[in-house]
Amino acid sequence: MTRSGTRRPRTHRRHTAALASALALATLAACGTSSSDDGSGGGDAVDTAQAAAPLDPKTKVTLTIDCMPPATEKAELKQWKEDVEKFNEKYPNVTIEGKQTDPCLEPPRFTAMLKAESQPDVFYTYFTDLQQVLDNDGATDISAYVNDRTVPALKDMDPDVLDVLKQDGKLYGLPYSNYTMGLLINRPLFEKAGLDPDKPPTTWPQVRAAAKRIAALGDGTAGFGEYSAGNNGGWHFTATTYGLGGDIVDEGGSKAAFDDATGKRILDNLKAMRWDDDSMGKTQLLKWGDLQKQMASGKLGMFLAAPDDITYMVQNLGAKYEDYGMAPIPGQRATLFGGNDYMIKKGISPDKVKAAIAWINFKFLTPGKGQFDWARTKADGLPVGLPQPNFWTGATKTAHDRARAANSTMPVANFKAFTDNRVQGKPEPPKAQEIYKVLDTVMSAVLTNKNADTGQLLDTAERQVDQILANQ
């Protein structure tokens, strides 16, 4: 999975991956002169008024950025180079040193990089990496640098996305991409089973009923699929819990909160679908990639996912965009969200920080440009039309959606149930990966043992998660 959850392979638009580049740096506005600054210089210690001023085009700097697309991604690399060139038209004294990293983030490499303080000036992270970065004193507080002059679309950015990049009121990153979980459906299987793919299930009883009808098609077809390995089962248990209004940890983040009626309802429902209905297939202990293969081969009707799973199936498994649709997470009380972002290395000069903000804004946060240049994306043969990434609200969202639809290369109506029923996003719990590993054992037990005691499984998992949280 991706994401901030389990680390997932990079696809063309990189829910986990991103393109990146670098720039230049502005002179302090109060001085009125350009500067040359390739060294470090305490990016946090800067006058607020000076930091708030946009990058001076005369500024001369070298900036390093990771996650430049590899040569194998020809269209993305072409766009990266084009955007560097366009950026240099306004900031001609910028020297960009891009680092090709594929995947953009590998946990062991990322951890070693932070400990060695060897991250580039602008570095790629997942939303859930903030605490690890701060524990290693790795990122600049960019609060003073980010405003409606340096990031003009800031006012229309989803506050949920910005909040996950903050700690103690300080901002440490800017988003590249985001996702929310929903129900991914196989439209041809829905039609074969006599179900309306334009009206996908929105409750778990409806999911269960639809799964039985799809599984009844036979020939090894499963109606619903679920993960239970590689931390992915715990990730999906969390998403399902949020959809039903539950929590994984309490408000203070110190105790487990899933050993309740909601948690038991989730496990009992999966147990019934697996053993009573036989609608989930015989093969279990699945991890990320397994369900995508089943769906791409026409053998799976539904599973919880984010829209970019479809891109992965098309680009890597030979699937077709028109065969899939999305519905909101069953229950619709809340939905797990995550994504990726860019942070700026602690200790670099204020000029470099300002340059980094300018590049991130140009490449990733300007509707109609950079990653949101939908006409170029279409012309380069890359897909257009998925409902995410989309971290906009207000007038910016309206314009963004209109432009995306106008250049769509896929039937956007397939995602109408998902886009028309926006569900409040909710971030992953603290110590997410450790908690997911524990919850994997709960999910795997239910799906491989027809006599599993769901209450006992939850009790045991709660004690284990309480211990994890006590050791924060």
* Mean pLDDT split into 10-residue runs, the chain, 472 residues: 38 32 30 39 64 95 94 93 96 91 86 96 93 96 97 94 95 95 98 98 98 98 97 96 98 96 98 98 96 98 95 92 97 94 97 96 95 96 91 93 94 94 91 94 98 98 97 82
In this structure, is residue 436 part of a structural domain? Answer: yes
Q: Which residue, 170, 160, 472, 85, is CA-closest to 343?
A: 170
Same domain, 200 and 300: yes
In this structure, is residue 419 part of a structural domain? Answer: no
Please report the pLDDT score of residue 315 as a whole number: 84
Cα within 13 Å of Cα(26), Cβ side:
24
CB 111 within 8 A of CB 118: no
In this structure, is residue 8 part of a structural domain? Answer: no
Total Cβ atoms within 10 A of residue 197:
19
Range of the domain at 456: 182-305+431-470
Same domain, 53 and 157: yes
Please report the pLDDT score of residue 7 as a whole number: 35
Give the helix ranges, DSSP H, for 140-259: 159-163, 187-192, 204-215, 232-243
Please report the pLDDT score of residue 202 as a whole number: 96
Same domain, 277 and 154: no
Give the domain-ending residue among 390, 406, 422.
Answer: 406
Same domain, 173 and 189: no
In this structure, is residue 24 part of a structural domain? Answer: no
Same domain, 287 and 435: yes
Give the domain-ending residue among 369, 391, 406.
Answer: 406
Q: How far is residue 217's CA from residue 230's CA, in Å, rounded to a whole number?
A: 30
Same domain, 252 and 398: no
Number of domains in the chain: 2
Please report the pLDDT score of residue 45 as a whole number: 52
Parallel/antiparallel/unpaired status of strands 166-167 and 425-426: unpaired
CATH at residue 261: 3.40.190.10
What is the full DSSP assignment across 402-470? HHHHHT-SS-GGGGHHHHSS---EEPPPTTHHHHHHHHHHHHHHHHH-TT--HHHHHHHHHHHHHHHHH
Same domain, 161 and 271: no
Same domain, 163 and 52: yes
Alpha-carbon torsion (271, 277, 282, 288), positive or negative? negative
Give the H/E segment covering residue 343: strand 335-344
In this structure, is residue 150 part of a structural domain? Answer: yes
Q: What is the pTM of this model?
A: 0.82
Same domain, 368 and 464: no
Burial of 115 (0-12, 13-18, 19+ CB in 10 A): exposed
Give the bridge partners for 100, in sequence order: 68
In this structure, is residue 143 part of a structural domain? Answer: yes
Please report the pLDDT score of residue 46 as a whole number: 64
SS3 157: strand
Same domain, 299 and 438: yes
In this structure, is residue 413 part of a structural domain? Answer: no
Same domain, 193 and 298: yes
